[in-house]
Amino acid sequence: MSSQTSYRFSFGPWNISEGADPFGIDVRPAFAHEKKFALYRPLGFEGVQFHDDDVVPGLDGLSPAQIQSKAADVKAMLLNQGLTPEFVAPRLWFAEQTTDGAYTSNSEQDRAYAWDRTKKCIDIARAIDCKAIVLWLAREGTYIRESKDARLAYRRILETIDAMLDYDPKIEIWIEPKPNEPTDQAYVPTIGHAVALAYASKDPQRVKGLIESAHALLAGLDPSDEMAFALAHDKLASVHLNDQNGLKYDQDKNFGGANLRAAFNQVRVLEEAGYGSRGEFVGLDVKAIRTQRGCPVTEHLSNSRAIFLHLVDKFRSLDQKLVGELRSDRDYEALEVYILRHLMGIH
């Protein structure tokens, strides 16, 4: 059982958005990217999740010196705002060269772009004193099964991970699995795949996983079990808490917004493992509701954080003795109703 972790929270600037979706225009005015960082502390957040171009916009067109100078500005800004960069992720899904994937593209030239961009991402992370690189392998998958040799694709992903570990002896790689979207089938769909890649890599200690609730749900799995699996291997580097209504497009709903009990179980598993006691962040990856008015819209962040903390209270106030007895008696009917009543505040 954990000794009362006090959590620290993170989110990415993309979580404050204009509200566009694939079928519609922006519904809110843009809120300047640089102004977003001043919102973190007042909202109760200390960690910033970055894509490489959240740190250095337009980095493909910049020289190494320009990249370093922009990264130095961001480092100073973070210091001024009292913020910690949690990770930097290479954005490998927007450029023309990533149309067919990045590390697994069929084009050698495009794979070279992906590697070059990855090195730039690591340089940027280093420049802002961040040691974690998140690999959300967006387009590493296929729409047409026969279009790629999946075995070769796995080898290419592993070779890239090894090359990253060689490129910088200090960085950690946190793989964020997702089973689909944008591709209909992804090569690293679950935390089991990510952990296997970690063990197969040349430095398993430095390769871990990041679990996003909605991604586990999209794979038809229970996020709390996915988290438990990673925790059992000491490979849960971070989480992206949110929620998801069924096997649909990636919704990034408020944490607990679709299934409060599933959210409770994620909190329970994290608490039981003492997650966070080594400084791991509780990350959120939640989208503001499209219909929400205002600019900037941030309530989804503070609300999801508050729901997490309420659920921590719910876990800490569970009658553990009773849970233990019901488990030994195999009275899971009574256990279920106890949990439901506890969540509803009925005593």
Q: Which backbone phi and psi does 296 adopt, to 5 degrees?
A: -80, 155
Q: Give the nearest distance from C-beta 9 to Mg ion in angstroms.
A: 14
Q: Which of 53, 110, 123, 285 binds Mg ion (CB under 5 A)?
A: 285
Select from ligand XLS, Mg ion, none the partner in contact with residue 216, using the beta carbon and a kind-dependent cut-off of 5 to 8 Å.
none
Residue ranges in 169-208 that form contacts with Mg ion under rule CB under 5 A: none
Q: Which of 52, 110, 212, 243 binds Mg ion (CB under 5 A)?
A: 212
115, 79 Cβ separation under 8 angstroms: no
Return the residue matching tokens 């030994």. 328
8, 281 Cβ separation under 8 angstroms: yes
Nearest to 285 by CA among 267, 306, 262, 305: 305
Q: Does 55 bind ligand XLS (CB under 6 A)?
A: no
Q: Is 51 a catalytic residue?
A: yes
ω into residue 223 within 30 of 0, thus cis?
no
Select from Mg ion, ligand XLS, none the partner in contact with residue 111, using the beta carbon and a kind-dependent cut-off of 5 to 8 Å.
none
Q: Does 139 bind ligand XLS (CB under 6 A)?
A: no
Q: Does 212 bind ligand XLS (CB under 6 A)?
A: yes
Total chain residues near ligand XLS (CB under 6 A): 10
Q: Which of 45, 115, 136, 255 binds ligand XLS (CB under 6 A)?
A: 136
Select from Mg ion, ligand XLS, none the partner in contact with residue 178, using the beta carbon and a kind-dependent cut-off of 5 to 8 Å.
ligand XLS
Q: Give the nearest distance from C-beta 121 to ligand XLS in angstroms.
A: 11
Residues facing residue 48 across a β-bridge: 11, 85
Question: What distance in Å separates the CA atoms of residue 282 and residue 155, rounded to the nearest whole number?
Answer: 31
Given 54, 110, 252, 285, which residue is catalytic? 54
Q: Give the nearest distance from C-beta 253 to ligand XLS in angstroms.
A: 13
Given 21, 26, 33, 51, which residue is catalytic? 51
Would you state the structure tokens that stand for residue 20, as one six-digit string? 């566009």
The 3-state DSSP class for residue 283 equals: strand
Q: Give the nearest distance from C-beta 79 to Mg ion in angstroms.
A: 25
Contact pattern for ligand XLS over residues 258 through 287, marking x by CB under 6 A: ---------------------------x--
- Comparing CB distances to Mg ion, the nearer of 172 and 285 is 285
Q: Give the nearest distance from C-beta 215 to Mg ion in angstroms.
A: 7
Contacts of 85 (CB under 8 A, 6+ apart): 47, 48, 50, 78, 125, 128, 129, 130
Select from ligand XLS, Mg ion, none the partner in contact with residue 86, using the beta carbon and a kind-dependent cut-off of 5 to 8 Å.
none
Q: Is 310 a catalytic residue?
A: no
Angle between helices 150-167 and 108-127 (to 10 degrees): 30
Question: What distance in Å separates the CA atoms of residue 218 and residue 246, rounded to the nearest whole number?
Answer: 7
Q: Which residues in the chain belong to E strands, given as ranges?
A: 9-11, 47-51, 84-89, 132-136, 141-142, 172-176, 185-186, 207-212, 236-241, 282-284
Catalogue the active-site residues. Answer: 51, 54
**Interface ranges with ligand XLS (CB under 6 A):** 51, 89, 134, 136, 176, 178, 212, 240, 250, 285
**Interface ranges with Mg ion (CB under 5 A):** 212, 240, 285
